[in-house]
A and B are shown apart, each in its own frame.
Chain A
Amino acid sequence: MLGVPLVAYLSLGLFMFSVGVVGVVVRRNPIVIFMCIELMLNSVNLTFLTFARFHSSVNPQTGLAAPSMMAGQMMVIFVMAVAAAEVAVGLGIIMAIFRLRHTVDIDEMNLLKG
């Protein structure tokens, strides 16, 4: 596993993140936007894991990473939980808006305009 260089992981993460950003900015369907956001979050997760793996030392006796070095992995779990919650709330809002306006086109919605 360590055969794959660090830069490859990071490149993949960067690629996924860029796709996500472009998707959020150009697409009009909120579902797709959600997927793009998810993509961005996952790219970040990937980066977290990569760094966690590459920077942690391994306990020679057990062959496992020291618990204090598990922060990256913990963060990923955390991000996933938040993402799930976000999707749940977001989809709920989209449903509500759809009921109200019978459209989910993002360009039709500017309720946040000041």
Chain B
Amino acid sequence: MENGFGSIAWVLYLPIIGFLIQAFFGKKVVDSMGIAAGRRVMGTLAVLPIALGFVIGLMLVLKLSAMEPAARSVVVPLFNWIDVMGLRLPFELIVDPLSMTMVLIITGIGALIHLYATGYMAEEPDYPRFFTYLNLFIASMLILVLGNNLALLFIGWEGVGVCSYLLIGFWYKDLANSKAANKAFIVNRIGDWGLTLGLFLIVALLTTSPSLVKADRYLSYDQMLPALQIALAHNHGLATAIALLLFVGACGKSAQFPLYLWLPDAMAGPTPVSALIHAATMVTSGVVLLNRMHIVFEMSPTASAIVAVIGAFTALFAALVAFGQTDIKKVLAYSTVSQLGFMFVACGAGGYWAGMFHVTTHAFFKALLFLGSGAVIHAMAHNQDMRNYGNLSKYLKITCWSMVIGWLAISGVYMFSGFYSKEAIIGTALANTHANIEGYQLGQYSGWTALFVAFLTAMYMTRMMVLTFFSGEERWRLIPAKAHADDHGHGTDIAHGNHLEAVHEHGHDHGPDVHGFFYTDEELHAMEHGDHDDHAHHELDETHQPHEVPPSMWFPLVCLAALSLFGGYFMSHNEVFRDWLYPEGKLPILGVVSAEAEHIPLVLYSSIAAFGGLIIGGLWYMRGLPKAEGWDESKWNPFRKLAGRQFGFDAAMVTTTVDGGAELGRGLWQGFDVKIVDGIVNGSAGLASYLGKGISWFQTGYIRMYALMMLFGGAGILGWFLYAMKHGGVR
């Protein structure tokens, strides 16, 4: 069955091995080899497994593409995971075009970002911990895409969630970061709720259909998908239910409205994390899920319409919010949310391959933009506010020009990769009538919305680029004094001051430390603190001189720029990408979804959108930072103020759920548990003791009283006995 595809397991094992090495030996190696050399070794050991995985993946892709299109699906079994009567969930990997596409993205871009991170995180004291998480993330993501059943997908799904949680909260000393991490995990869990219920619904459906029960390992895709097709053929309501539940899961992971809330906050993590997890790979797993389960969606036009509408709305909403952001990473975060919306528009319209196409190109240019922004942030003393940038093209040449390519790609300029995928999406949405509810062509409306959002995208990306790299003035030399106060780096400053004196004053007051739980004063003195706190960076001020980043950081930028420039053209040439993912006959229900809307000159429209956005944006910001977007936020116009706050949506959600939930919890605890249940319990105990108190009056404690009472009792019994005998009561 393997046909020589067994080596796919190594793609998965390598990052796991890397993870274990980092976790168990990382700290020791760094400590024993010296900081610089140790970090270099561990950095190499972190990049290597991913790069090797990419090579193996590439070989397997070549092998796979040599096969017949219809036979391109190989299952590699590893071991039995869950195996009880009636449910067998083996741990097996699937090698097919969809999974291999994602494998290449994950390992390829993953390796580049790992390489970048060795430079970006070079000053980080917790270096091995970072790569531990990052390697674990790659492993989880690979399980997600390679797993051959939904339960395995769910392992990866939650695994990447945890890694994301850990990496967002990487700089844990700032409580805001860990709050963002919690938010990400919890909001994702809401999505997971939908995903599990969808999974259960599939199980319940398949197992109650008499013809299908005997199937072994029926949750594996190769058995489940055909079975589903039969089972759902006459049950559109159920198809809609399953599709929507799965889509809830996708919404969580892929940050669609209203579950997008976590993604902007997730920018608290280090920038390579934002690039890898929150732009290129993890957030696209929702699209992967929809591609994997496309049969279900194809059977439900209603669900498809909802997917498309949510996608379009998210795209629009996030694009608008992006205008109100001043943090360079936040702009990119909202643009990611918006681009993910595009992908869902495609999936809703039935063009699943177009969604995946955009996943791929988006991985190129968004990773590029994030890494570029990381380089800028690195050069600007970890200040992320675009209002403090300007004219950086003079200092950061390589970063600037590679980012320019990313900018043109995301804007959808002709010949750049973003153009092809966006055109495929909008074309698919406009050309097809799959996504409709009772005849309302919601899919097509979504397509038009997407076209408009493409225009907005070009505009806000121009805003970001121009404010950062061009527009004459070097604004970090002009920051008003007040704005300095809001500067935020990692916020580690509070924790960095190790107030030894305070320790001396207070000490611990729990008596002698018999078990050796605490450091003594001498030990505290002997410990060197330099190792922990070498992260001090100087403030951004007038004298700051930005420098170009080291090669380990700009090399990935250049690679990604090349991909952003040419990738789209090569993949759309002769429909290579579509035929690879969905060869003829592999779209069982919808048939071939056309990507060219007739009578609509799409190239013209999207070019107008792209260039319109570029030109308007360019004109607007070329002269420098407008007053209405300046440091003083009270002078902003109402639209930007609202956009800056996500139109109040985030705050409303937090108030209702978090605060409301806490109120509810406290109410239940103090009201129900303590008052009612314990009230009854303690009340009955109180009643008993009240009765006991009354009776205890007899209990004087004097022995003679007891003796006397015994006497009376004995006499009483005897008396009754005599009385009864006399009256014949006894016998």
- Interface assignment of A100: CB less than 8 Å from any CB of chain B: no
Say whether, besides A21-B711, A25-B711, A113 and B704 are in contact (CB < 8 Å).
Answer: no
Q: Which of B697, B707, B708 has most chain A Cβ within 10 Å?
A: B707
Asked if residues B692 and A24 are in contact (CB atoms below 8 Å), the reply is no
Specify which chain A residues have a CB less than 8 angstroms from the CB of B698 in the assembled complex: 114
Q: Does B634 count as interface, using CB distance less than 8 angstroms? A: no
> For residue A88, which residues in chain B have a CB less than 8 angstroms away from its CB?
none
B656 within 8 A of A: no
B692 touches A114 (CB 8 A): yes
| Known contacts A25-B711, A114-B692, A114-B696; A109/B704 CB under 8 A | no
Does B702 touch A at the CB level, under 8 Å? Answer: yes
A110 to B704, CA, bound (A): 11
Assess the A114–B704 pair: CB atoms within 8 A. Answer: no
Instruction: Closest B residue to A37 by CB, please name it.
Output: B707
Whether A1 is near chain B, meaning CB under 8 Å from some CB there, is no
The distance in angstroms between the C-alpha atoms of A110 and B711, with both chains bound, is: 20
What are 25 inter-chain pairs, A to B, with CB distance below 8 A?
Answer: A21-B707, A21-B711, A24-B703, A24-B704, A24-B707, A25-B707, A25-B708, A25-B711, A106-B703, A107-B702, A109-B701, A109-B702, A109-B703, A110-B701, A110-B702, A111-B701, A112-B699, A113-B696, A113-B700, A113-B701, A114-B692, A114-B695, A114-B697, A114-B698, A114-B701
CB nearest neighbor in B for A23: B707
Do A112 and B711 have beta carbons less than 8 Å apart?
no
Closest CB-CB distance, B708 to chain A, in whole Å? Answer: 6
Please give me the residue from chain A that is nearest to B697 by CB atom.
A114
0/1 string, A4-28, CB within 8 A of B gives 1: 0000000000000000010011100
Q: Verify if A49 is at the interface (C-beta below 8 Å from B).
A: no
Q: Which of A80-100 contact B (CB under 8 A)?
A: none
Residue A41 CB within 8 A of the other chain = no
- Distance (whole angstroms) from the CB of B47 to the closest CB of chain A: 78
A39 on the interface (CB 8 Å rule)?
no
| Chain B 354-410 interface residues, beta-carbon cutoff 8 Å to A | none
Q: How far is the CB of B689 from chain A (nearest CB, A)?
A: 11
Asked whether, in the complex, the Cβ of A33 is within 8 Å of the Cβ of B703, the reply is yes
Cα(A26)–Cα(B703), bound, Å: 10
Residue of A107, A111, A114 with most chain B CB atoms under a 10 A cut-off: A114
What distance in Å separates the Cβ of A62 from its nearest Cβ neighbour in chain B? Answer: 35
Interface string of B664-692 (1 = CB under 8 A from A): 00000000000000000000000000001
Q: How far apart sit A10 and B707, CA to CA, in the bound complex (Å)? A: 23
Given contacts A109-B703, A110-B700, list 19 more A-B pairs with CB under 8 A.
A21-B707, A21-B711, A24-B703, A25-B708, A26-B704, A33-B703, A106-B702, A107-B702, A109-B702, A112-B699, A112-B706, A113-B696, A113-B699, A113-B701, A114-B692, A114-B695, A114-B698, A114-B699, A114-B701
Most buried by A among B692, B696, B702, B708: B702
Query: How many Å lie between the Cα of A8 and that of B59 in the bound state?
Result: 119
Write the chain A residue with the least CB distance to B707: A24
B152–chain A nearest beta-carbon distance, Å: 67
Residues of B within 8 A of A (CB): 692-693, 695-704, 706-708, 711
Neighbouring B residues of A114 by C-beta, 8 Å: 692-693, 695-699, 701
| Residue of B695, B701, B708 ringed by the most chain A CB atoms within 10 A | B701
User: Given contacts A21-B711, A114-B692, A114-B696, is CB(A106)–CB(B704) below 8 Å?
Assistant: yes
Closest chain-B Cβ to A16's Cβ sits at a distance in Å of 15
Q: Which residue on chain B has the smallest CB distance to residue A24?
A: B707
- Shortest B722–chain A CB gap in Å is 15
Query: A22-53 interface mask toward B, CB cutoff 8 Å, 1 = contact, 0 = none?
Result: 00111000000100000000000000000000
Q: Which residues of B contact A21 (CB under 8 A)?
A: 707, 711
**4 shortest interchain CB distances as A-B pairs:** A110-B701, A114-B696, A113-B701, A114-B699
Please state if B708 and A112 are interface contacts (CB–CB under 8 Å).
no
A113 to B708 Cα, complex, angstroms: 16
Nearest A residue to B706 via CB reads A112
In the complex, what residues of A have CB within 8 A of residue B708's CB? 25
Which residue of B is nearest A110, CB measured? B701
Which residues of B lie under 8 Å from residue A109 when comparing CB positions?
701-703
Chain B residues within 8 Å of A24, by CB = 703-704, 707
Give complex CA distance A110, B705 in Å: 11
Smallest beta-carbon distance B395→chain A, Å: 90
B411 to chain A, nearest CB (A): 89
* Distance in angstroms between the alpha carbons of A24 and B705 in the assembled complex: 10
Chain B nearest CB: distance from A28 CB in Å? 8
Residue on A nearest B692 in the bound complex, by CB: A114
Closest chain B CB from A27 CB (angstroms): 8
Question: What's the minimum C-beta distance from B717 to chain A, rounded to whole angstroms?
Answer: 15
Q: Are A25 and B704 in contact (CB under 8 A)?
A: yes
A27 and chain B: residue at smallest CB distance: B704
Complex contacts, B704 vs chain A, CB 8 Å: 24-26, 106
Closest Cβ neighbor of A107 among chain B residues? B702
When distances are taken between beta carbons in the complex, the residues of chain B under 8 Å from A25 are 704, 707-708, 711
Bound CA–CA A33/B701 (angstroms): 16
B692: chain A residues at CB < 8 Å are 114
- Chain B residues near A113 (CB, 8 Å)? 696, 699-701
Q: Which residue of B lies closest to A111 (CB)?
A: B701
Bound: A24/B696 CA distance, A: 22
CB-CB nearest in chain A for B699: A114
Residues of A within 8 A of B695 (CB): 114
In the complex, what distance in Å separates the CA atom of A113 from the CA atom of B698? 9
Closest residue of B by beta carbon distance from A21: B711
Q: How far is the CA of A114 from the CA of B699 in the complex (A)?
A: 5
Question: A23 to chain B: closest CB distance in Å?
Answer: 10
Q: How far is the CA of A112 from the CA of B707 in the complex (A)?
A: 13
Chain B residues closer than 8 Å to A33, beta-carbon distance:
703
Given the complex of chains A and B, what is the CA–CA distance between A25 and B701 in angstroms? 14
What CA separation (Å) do A25 and B693 show in the bound complex? 26
Complex-state Cα separation, A107 to B336, whole angstroms: 89
Given the complex, which residues of A lie within 8 Å of B711, measured CB to CB?
Answer: 21, 25
Per the bound structure, the CA–CA distance linking A28 and B730 in Å amounts to 40
Which B residues touch A112, using CB under 8 A? 699, 701, 706
Quote the shortest CB–CB distance from B283 to chain A (angstroms): 71
Q: How far is the CB of A96 from chain B (nearest CB, A)?
A: 16
B277 CB, nearest partner CB in chain A, Å: 69
- C-alpha gap A33/B711 in the complex (Å): 15
A89–B416 Cα distance when bound, in Å, is: 101
Interchain CA distance A38-B570 in the complex, whole Å: 113
Nearest CB of chain A from residue B3's CB, rounded to whole Å? 86
Q: Could you tell me the distance in whole angstroms from the C-beta of A47 to the nearest C-beta in chain B?
A: 14
Question: How many angstroms from the CA of A113 to the CA of B703 in the assembled complex?
Answer: 10
Cα separation A25 to B702 with both chains bound (whole Å): 10
- Nearest residue in B to A112 (C-beta to C-beta)? B701
Mark interface residues in A52-85 (1 if CB within 8 Å of B CB, else 0): 0000000000000000000000000000000000
Residues of chain A lying within 8 A (CB to CB) of residue B707 = 21, 24-25
> Which of B693, B697, B703, B711 has the largest number of chain A CB atoms within 10 A?
B703
Closest-by-CB residue of B relative to A33 is B703
User: Bound complex: CA of A97 vs CA of B638, how far in Å?
Assistant: 87
CB distance from A2 to the nearest CB of B (A): 28
A1 to chain B, nearest CB (A): 29
A39 CB, nearest partner CB in chain B, Å = 13
Bound: A110/B701 CA distance, A:
4
Task: For the complex, give the distance between the alpha carbons of A110 and B699 in Å.
Answer: 9
Question: What chain A residues lie within 8 Å of B699 (beta carbons)?
Answer: 112-114
Interface centre among B692, B698, B704 (most CB of A within 10 A): B704
> How many angstroms from the CA of A96 to the CA of B76 in the assembled complex?
80
Inter-chain contacts of B697 with A (CB < 8 A): 114
A36 to chain B minimum Cβ distance, whole angstroms, is: 9
The CB with the most chain A CB atoms within 10 A, among B692, B698, B700, is that of: B700
